[in-house]
Structure 1
């Protein structure tokens, strides 16, 4: 798909490049590796760009399909800032998301490969989504999270664990559900995986049993 330079993805990309810094881009590459491109835009610039895009394109404030399509378009190019912008966009639009959107988010997680991208999706998007879903949708979403916890991909397992964090921070955590996630994660792992163990410790520190 060719990106429309006059559309929201083109606007966001151009804005992020305008906010670029070659020094920051080089620092990101040293820290995160060379499997992504880096513009060198700050997190603050990324958040500001998403706010500006929402003002410029009003559909992003209320249209589910516009938001999810834009998130996919941003993620489609292996640029760190674009992918983080996709996570920020979904975070700002959690109220519009549905349990079916977890399939799209799963694709993002499988190609994220970095805590700096996985964690915002898990903690700021998936976790809050679980807190607001009604009964049947919540059940479907929990089934997806349990599948992630038993997956062969450690980033999906990390996300399944961290998705519990917002509930425990809000005093609404479910100890039984968290323990089941940990059992599934432990059964799926061959040996220690620090990224997953770190996530378990972080949720336990927030009050999980």
Structure 2
């Protein structure tokens, strides 16, 4: 099932893409992802427009939309999920770290791991305190010893 917000974002990203840019991005970024060839600016403006078009999104709406965008191994969709979470990071809670860890495992490329870590995970961790902060630190400390290179990279960036 595709939500109207995800449909809007996907359609816009495809319309903003170019085959030439998609090929160049695939060569530069790789990771076995598909590419629409939309610029980072187009991704950011598309997410901004989606939030305007669908006002009043709750925490659950935002995290569900991010997950929906992430399900397809398309670079621009995943980048849109990161931009969405970045714009709504103040609504994220400690329990969202589980979802973010799965996104990191699936990211495949530093071009997604790095902004997800520095623009979403780090600000979330900075906001947590008490038991929530302790639990989150145990999780992120574990990442340094993981076999998954994306989690190890995230641990270094934190």
Q: TM-score, normalised by structure 1?
A: 0.73
- 1:33 is displaced (CA, Å) by 2.3
Residue 48 of structure 1, aligned match among 38, 45, 49: 45
Higher relative contact order (CA 8 A, sep 6+): 2
Please show how residues 69-88 of structure 1 align to structure 2 within 5 Å.
Answer: 69-88=64-83
Residue 141 of structure 1, aligned match among 125, 136, 140: 136
Specify the alignment match of 1:100 in structure 2.
95
Q: Number of paired residues?
A: 158
Superposed CA offset, 1:138-196 (max 9, x none):
11111110111111111101111212xxxxxxxxxxxxxxxxxxxxxxxxxxxxxxxxx
**CA separation in 2, counterparts of 1:94 and 1:133?**
12
Specify the alignment match of 1:31 in structure 2.
28
Q: Is the 8 Å Cα contact of residues 148 and 160 (structure 1) preserved in structure 2?
A: yes
The more displaced of 39-48 and 148-157 is 148-157
Q: TM-score, normalised by structure 2?
A: 0.96
- Runs ≥4 in structure 1, deviation > 2 angstroms? none
Q: Is the 8 Å Cα contact of residues 6 and 68 (structure 2) preserved in structure 1?
A: yes
Residue 11 of structure 1, aligned match among 8, 16, 25: 8
Tell me the secondary structure at the aligned position of residue 41 of structure 1: coil
Larger radius of gyration: 1
Q: Is the 8 Å Cα contact of residues 30 and 109 (structure 2) preserved in structure 1?
A: no
**CA separation in 1, counterparts of 2:30 and 2:48?**
28
Q: Please, what is the CA RMSD of the aligned residues?
A: 1.1
Q: Is the 8 Å Cα contact of residues 59 and 66 (structure 1) preserved in structure 2?
A: no
- 1:97 is displaced (CA, Å) by 0.5
Superposed CA offset, 1:92-113 (max 9, x none):
1110011111111111111111
| 1:161 counterpart = 2:156 | yes
**CA separation in 2, counterparts of 1:158 and 1:29?**
21
